[in-house]
């Protein structure tokens, strides 16, 4: 069974995330402490205790999700020592976690970059008036027509029947009404800071490119599917370019998952807060196996599910 690890993106954050995982292992506790040292502020406190408005700030949400996702991966591998994976993918921010998990960058470098990325994107949001909306029950073709007619862009192609559009805030209401007129079951404006994955984020790109040039990037040990192309990343230079492009391009998540399924992947493990990626998977292909690790209960469930095919540690050794 070929296994791919999937990593959560921004929007999955919730106050308290990672707290149960940290309590399970000294390794996890040490990782949170390390993150605080690297960043120079108490990210652990923000993730565990909030307040919510502080956690949802882009420059905090992105490194916090990256950190919790990494800890979830480490704990699963600690409890299932023989678990192997043959590819990774991540939604938007999660693409950085996926690259780090595949050895293309270190944990520390990835954490620093996503913190900076979050800050650059926050600044881009403040400099523009952007908005987003979820379009439910409308195919990609008609949604593209809506975008062309109203001057907005595709932002996330998540799964069949769920697409997110992005653009200038004053254009979103017209796009929502146009989508409904095209037959969308729902078209819902989202409460977001700006127009992510749209040209309004362009000012963040050169800043992110400069930040990526500061770190060492290697060819990944296993394929990592790029959001922009829905194909595996290539050379370090190509990785940098695709990560920069991703800021203003749509996330082709459904196509990314279909690429992996076409390559024979039948088991997917979502790592990090929330279960959004597992939900998308059910809409993309119900025949594959999907596990997730977000807290103590889901870690135990994943461990039990993997027991049939992998070596796992005895329950008594986990607490």
Instruction: Grade residue 319 by pLDDT with cuts at 50, 70 and 90.
Output: very low
Q: What number of other Cβ atoms are within 10 A of residue 313's Cβ?
A: 12
Q: What is the pLDDT of residues 42-51, one digit of tens each?
A: 999 999 999 9
Rounded-to-integer distance, Cα 203 and Cα 199, Å:
9
Q: What is the pLDDT of residue 116?
A: 98
Runs of H (alpha helix) within the chain: 19-24, 26-39, 43-49, 52-55, 58-79, 94-101, 107-127, 140-150, 172-182, 204-213, 236-246, 253-262, 276-284, 296-306
pLDDT over 80 at 235, yes or no: yes
Tokens of 151: 């001057």
Give the class (CATH, top level) of 2-126+199-317. Answer: alpha beta
Instruction: Grade residue 316 by pLDDT with cuts at 50, 70 and 90.
Output: very low
pLDDT over 50 at 61, yes or no: yes
Q: What is the pLDDT of residue 87?
A: 98
% of the chain with per-residue pLDDT over 90:
94
Instruction: Grade residue 255 by pLDDT with cuts at 50, 70 and 90.
Output: very high
Q: What is the pLDDT of residue 294?
A: 97
Point out the residues that are catalytic: 92, 197
Q: Is the peptide bond before 202 cis (omega within 30 degrees of 0)?
A: no
Q: What is the pLDDT of residue 318?
A: 40
Q: Which residues contact 291 (CB under 8 A, 6 or more apart)?
A: 267, 268, 269, 270, 301, 302, 305, 306
Q: What are the extents of the domains in the chain?
A: 2-126+199-317, 129-190
Q: What is the pLDDT of residues 281-305, one digit of tens each?
A: 999 999 999 999 999 999 999 999 9
Q: What is the pLDDT of residues 18-42, one digit of tens each?
A: 999 999 999 999 999 999 999 999 9
Q: Taking residues 156-166, what's their average pLDDT? A: 97
pTM tops 0.85: yes
pLDDT over 90 at 312, yes or no: no
Mean pLDDT, the chain, rounded, equals 95
Sign of CA pseudo-dihedral 157, 163, 168, 171: positive
Q: What is the pLDDT of residues 208-231, one digit of tens each?
A: 999 999 999 999 999 999 999 999
Instruction: Grade residue 308 by pLDDT with cuts at 50, 70 and 90.
Output: confident
Q: What is the pLDDT of residues 70-119, one digit of tens each?
A: 999 999 999 999 999 999 999 999 999 999 999 999 999 999 999 999 99
Size (the chain), residues: 319
Instruction: Grade residue 309 by pLDDT with cuts at 50, 70 and 90.
Output: confident
CATH topology of domain 129-190: Alpha-Beta Plaits (3.30.70)
Q: What is the pLDDT of residue 317?
A: 38
């Amino acid at each position: 069974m070929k296994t791919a690890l999937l990593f959560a993106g921004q929007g999955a954050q919730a106050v308290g995330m990672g707290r149960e995982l940290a309590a399970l292992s000294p390794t996890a506790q040490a990782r949170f402490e390390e993150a605080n040292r690297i960043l120079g502020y108490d990210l652990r406190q923000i993730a565990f205790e909030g307040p919510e408005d502080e956690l949802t700030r882009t420059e905090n949400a992105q490194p916090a999700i990256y950190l919790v996702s990494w800890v979830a991966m480490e704990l699963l591998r600690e409890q299932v020592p023989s678990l192997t994976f043959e590819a990774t993918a991540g939604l938007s921010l999660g693409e950085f976690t996926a690259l780090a998990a595949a050895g293309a960058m270190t944990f520390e470098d990835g954490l620093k970059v996503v913190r900076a990325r979050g800050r650059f994107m926050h600044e881009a949001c403040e400099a523009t008036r952007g908005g987003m909306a979820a379009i439910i029950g409308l195919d990609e073709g008609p949604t593209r027509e809506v975008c062309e007619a109203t001057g907005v862009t595709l932002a996330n192609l998540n799964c069949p029947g769920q697409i997110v559009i992005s653009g200038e805030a004053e254009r979103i209401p017209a796009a929502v009404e146009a989508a409904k007129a095209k037959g969308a079951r729902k078209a819902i404006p989202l409460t977001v800071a700006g127009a992510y994955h749209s040209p309004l984020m362009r000012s963040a790109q050169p800043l992110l490119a400069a930040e990526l040039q500061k770190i060492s990037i290697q060819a990944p040990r296993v394929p990592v599917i790029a959001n922009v192309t829905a194909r595996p990343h290539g050379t370090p230079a190509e990785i940098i370019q695709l990560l920069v492009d991703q800021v203003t391009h749509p996330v082709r998540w459904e196509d990314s998952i279909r690429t992996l399924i076409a390559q024979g992947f039948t088991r997917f493990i979502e790592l990090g807060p929330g279960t959004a990626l597992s939900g998308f998977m059910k809409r993309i292909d119900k025949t594959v196996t999907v596990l997730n690790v977000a807290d103590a209960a889901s870690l135990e469930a994943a461990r039990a599910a993997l027991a049939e095919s992998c070596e796992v540690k005895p329950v008594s050794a986990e607490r």
